[in-house]
């Protein structure tokens, strides 16, 4: 049997008639940017996430970069300010910070949950700290009340990188469900094709309740203009196009169902993977995890990966080299981040997705359990 890591063709096939109708509608309309499709998706996504505003942008990196840039334009951030961020994240989170002449201050994740260790944050706060950027990595909610309280006590912005966790919920003590992307001051979302809500190319969005910030991001993503040919900022071109917006609007309707399927596959993995060489991350309280990825840890990770590959089970590593060890970030190479290093050496993501069936999941489990 061959089990793909993620078969995007099968994911698209789940809703392809509606998606093709939506694309044809845009093609026939003759209107391809800044039109009704984008407005409609922005409204529906803001409602879904539970924020007042959603601004469609070109991709997730731009969403992150524009949030920070907009905070600079409205005077909340300045060159050299420090942003606390988990050290185990996709490079884009860090690029957005350094691209804005801000300083990433790396926090360790927890080895058992793989998201930022909230007990490791307070000691990192200095008088230059202005924000905590949490990353809901792998679809796991990184928000905790402790992080919220730290932001309140030190007057820090709480920012979310929600690229990997569309539809993930945090349950308050009053049992109210709040979506990741609505838990802080602003959140960046990527709709890269393989994401839980994936477009047919690059796409992204920012969600926020802050009107000033939303207006600044809207302008900055459209050359910095406030009215056609009038520029308040030195902006860029980073817009969500009409075809991507129409596709995303169709897929948004099925996101909760697709996430439910991921959760059922994950339950199956949790119940049936049983191999002392393979550690499954702890389930987090107060959240429903949308399993963008299903990471496991093994101190024989590379052997495990080739064993699975030989049995037809495809897996990927997220991520083999942390940001502070990348060639482009030589300035951080002396940092000691042992938990982040362990995760980069032991993490393996096994097949997961809305089109993965239970026969495939069963085969994945059987092969993992056979690894010795």
Ligand X SMILES: Cc1ncc(COP(=O)(O)O)c(C=O)c1O
Nearest distance, CB of residue 92 and ligand X, angstroms: 4
Query: Is omega for the bond preceding 319 within 30 degrees of 0, making it cis?
Result: yes
Could you tell me the two tokens for 215?
């207006």
Could you tell me the two tokens for 325?
């060890």
Nearest distance, CB of residue 197 and ligand X, angstroms: 11
Which residues face 245 on adjacent strands? none
Q: Which is nearer to ligand X, 137 or 364 (CB)?
A: 137
Q: Which is nearer to ligand X, 72 or 318 (CB)?
A: 318
Give SS3 for 78: coil
Q: Which is nearer to ligand X, 93 or 144 (CB)?
A: 93
Between CA 37 and CA 104 the distance in angstroms is 36
Nearest distance, CB of residue 324 and ligand X, angstroms: 16
- Closest by CA to 178, choosing from 203, 209, 210, 137, is 209
Nearest distance, CB of residue 276 and ligand X, angstroms: 30
Q: What is the DSSP string of 193-234?
A: TTSSS--SS--EEEEES-HHHHHHHHHHTBTTEEETTEESS-
Nearest distance, CB of residue 63 and ligand X, angstroms: 7
CB proximity list for 271: less than 8 A, separation 6 or greater: none
C-beta of residue 19 within 8 angstroms of C-beta of residue 179: no
Q: Which is nearer to ligand X, 93 or 182 (CB)?
A: 93
Nearest distance, CB of residue 114 and ligand X, angstroms: 12
Q: Which is nearer to ligand X, 81 or 202 (CB)?
A: 202
Sheet of 53-57, strand order: 53-57, 204-208, 186-190, 157-161, 129-135, 82-86, 103-107
Site of interaction with ligand X (CB under 6 A): 59-61, 89-90, 92-93, 135, 161, 163-164, 190, 192, 202, 204
What does the CA dihedral 347, 348, 349, 350 come to, rounded to 10 degrees? -150
Nearest distance, CB of residue 64 and ligand X, angstroms: 6
CB proximity list for 52: less than 8 A, separation 6 or greater: 46, 208, 209, 211, 214
Which residues face 131 on adjacent strands? 83, 157
Question: Which residue has its beta carbon closest to ligand X?
Answer: 60
Q: Which is nearer to ligand X, 100 or 367 (CB)?
A: 100
Gyration radius of the chain over CA positions: 20
Q: Which is nearer to ligand X, 18 or 117 (CB)?
A: 117
Nearest distance, CB of residue 241 and ligand X, angstroms: 14
């Amino acid at each position: 049997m061959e089990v793909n890591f993620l078969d995007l063709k099968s994911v698209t096939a789940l809703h392809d008639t509606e998606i093709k109708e939506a694309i044809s509608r845009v093609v026939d309309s003759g209107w391809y940017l800044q039109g009704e499709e984008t407005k409609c998706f922005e409204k529906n996504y803001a409602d879904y996430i539970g924020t007042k505003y959603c601004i469609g942008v070109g991709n997730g990196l731009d969403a992150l970069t524009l949030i920070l840039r907009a905070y600079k334009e409205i005077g909340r951030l300045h060159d050299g300010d420090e942003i606390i961020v988990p050290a185990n994240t996709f490079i884009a989170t860090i690029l957005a910070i350094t691209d804005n002449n801000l300083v990433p201050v790396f926090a360790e994740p927890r080895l058992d949950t793989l998201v930022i260790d909230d007990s490791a944050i307070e000691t990192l706060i200095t008088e230059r700290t202005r924000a905590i950027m949490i990353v809901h990595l792998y679809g796991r909610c990184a928000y905790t009340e402790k992080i919220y309280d730290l932001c309140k006590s030190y007057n820090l912005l709480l920012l979310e990188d929600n690229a990997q966790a569309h539809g993930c919920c945090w349950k308050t003590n009053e049992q109210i469900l709040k979506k990741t992307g609505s838990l802080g001051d602003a959140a960046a979302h990527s709709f890269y094709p393989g994401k839980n809500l994936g477009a047919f190319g690059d796409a992204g969005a920012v969600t926020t309740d802050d009107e000033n910030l939303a207006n600044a991001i809207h302008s900055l993503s459209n050359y910095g203009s406030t009215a056609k040919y009038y520029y308040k900022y030195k902006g860029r071109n980073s817009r969500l196009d009409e075809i991507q917006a129409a596709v995303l609007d169709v897929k948004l309707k099925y996101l909760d169902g697709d996430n439910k399927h991921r959760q059922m596959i994950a339950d199956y993995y949790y119940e049936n993977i049983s191999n002392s060489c393979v550690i499954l991350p702890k389930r987090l309280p107060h959240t429903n995890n949308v399993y963008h990825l299903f990471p496991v840890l093994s101190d024989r990770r590379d052997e495990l990966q080739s064993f699975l590959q030989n049995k037809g089970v495809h897996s990927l590593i997220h991520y083999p080299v942390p940001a502070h060890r990348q060639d482009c970030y030589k300035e951080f190479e002396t940092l000691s981040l042992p938990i982040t290093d362990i995760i980069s050496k032991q993490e393996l993501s096994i097949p997961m997705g809305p089109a993965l069936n239970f026969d495939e999941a069963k085969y994945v489990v059987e092969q993992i359990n056979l690894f010795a």
